[in-house]
Amino acid sequence: MSTGTRPELVRAQQLYDLGRPAEALEAAGLVLAAVPDDPAALRLAALCQSALGRHEAAVATGRAAVAADPDSEHARRILAHIHYKTGDLRTAAEIARDAIRLAPDEWRGHMLLARCLCHFDPRHAVAPAERSRELAPASAETHFTCALVYQALGRRQEARAAYLRVLELNPQHAMAHNNLAVLDRFDRRWDTALRGFRRSLSSDPQQVLARRNIEAILLARVWRLTSIAIISVIVLDTFAPVLGGLGQRVLSLSILGVLGGSVGVTAVLTHRAAGPVALRLLRRDRLVLLCSGLIVAALVFTFLAGVLQMIVITDQYTSINLLITLLLCLLVLRVRNRTRRSGQS
């Protein structure tokens, strides 16, 4: 029986394909105990170690796999993939080029090279990305790689078309949903973007990027409402002493209508687009809770001071305006820091 068809190795491959790398590594170890330089077992062991986060061991095993079978494109591609996962992109790209030289018609090598180059030299990633798509047009991943490269180069329409093709081939491709929604967000189609991020999260509940993107949009919306609330309080504080009783009530009712209507419309649209994710964010995020508290405080203050006139607004509230302005500046910095964390794959 050849090495590639050993029962232990077949079993190890099946375990790895099922997402059980620890058990697969143990099964591959049985083969390596008998034949330490078995190329297939070394390749599989390297993949398992990488999946388990044992990066140094994975690199060492990957190099051993290359040494055991110097003419193997597969071994070099696995080693390049391991370096790619660790963030050593330039090394990964060089090894991927070696793999391509050994097997110029293997689409996975071209795709891996393109993904490496996409991060530090996207202009030169176009050719390998399109070559991989040419060699494997039925693979969703080759189209996804082209989309990544186009997006990195700012060719958004081509990227959008490529992402849509990915979803035709694989409607459950989580990162295609996410990155397509990133393009929608760039075009300020906020609700469409939210729905895209939500679909991404539904396709892969474990991935954090779509959740972070949803939170960034929701935080921006809450912040917009907070800004309206703070400005409303400043306007009421500034003009109420001048307008007097009736004028003060009219101004306050107008503020309540604008602010309350904005809150209501935003809440309905956000719930439709983001669903339960929006509620979870409102319950757990301290910055969102702070902004929500400021909005409620502004509504209550406007009602009590402006409509019921239970609080007399005089020039003494100028100090409140200064405190509100300071708080506004601090929140701007905090919100910008949070919203910049979102992005694409």
**Is 130 a domain residue?**
no
Which amino acid does the sequence have at 229?
A: A
Q: What domain range is 285 assigned to? A: 211-339
Stretches in the chain below the pLDDT threshold 70: 1-5, 311-345
In 3D space, the residue among 77, 72, 80, 5 whose CA is nearest the CA of residue 39 turns out to be 72
Q: What pLDDT, on the 0 to 100 scale, is given for residue 1?
A: 36
Kindly report the number of other CB atoms within 10 A of residue 322's CB atom: 10
Q: Report the predicted TM-score, pTM, of the whole model to 2 decimal places.
A: 0.79
Which among 76, 16, 73, 30 has a CA at the least distance from the CA of 84?
Answer: 76
**Does residue 20 lie within any of the structural domains?**
no
User: In this structure, is residue 299 part of a structural domain?
Assistant: yes
- Dmax over CA atoms of the chain, in Å, equals 97
Token pair for 101: 């030289």
Residues 6+ apart with CB under 8 A from 222: 288, 291, 292, 295
Residue with tokens 């330490």: 36
Query: What gap in Å lies between CA 124 and CA 96, rounded to an integer?
Result: 14
What pLDDT, on the 0 to 100 scale, is given for residue 133? 98
d(CA 318, CA 183): 43
* 65-99 per-position pLDDT tens digit: 999 999 999 999 999 999 999 999 999 999 999 99
Q: How far apart are CA 169 and CA 137, in angstroms?
A: 10
Cα–chain center distance at 184: 14
3-state secondary structure of 280: helix
**Cα dihedral sign, 235-238-243-249:** positive
Task: Map residue 138 onto helix, strand or coil.
Answer: coil
Q: Does residue 31 fall inside a structural domain?
A: no
Q: What is the pLDDT of residue 42?
A: 96
Domain annotation covers residue 173: no
Instruction: Answer whether residue 109 is part of any domain.
Output: no
pLDDT at 216: 84
Q: pLDDT value at position 283?
A: 76
CB burial class (10 A; 0-12, 13-18, 19+) of residue 156? middle
Residue 107 inside a domain? The answer is no
User: Around Cβ 124, how many Cβ atoms within 10 Å?
Assistant: 15
Task: Read off the amino acid at residue 312.
Answer: V
> Domain for residue 279, yes or no?
yes
Question: CA–CA distance from 314 to each of 51, 218, 317 (Å)?
Answer: 65, 36, 6
- Total domains in the chain come to 1
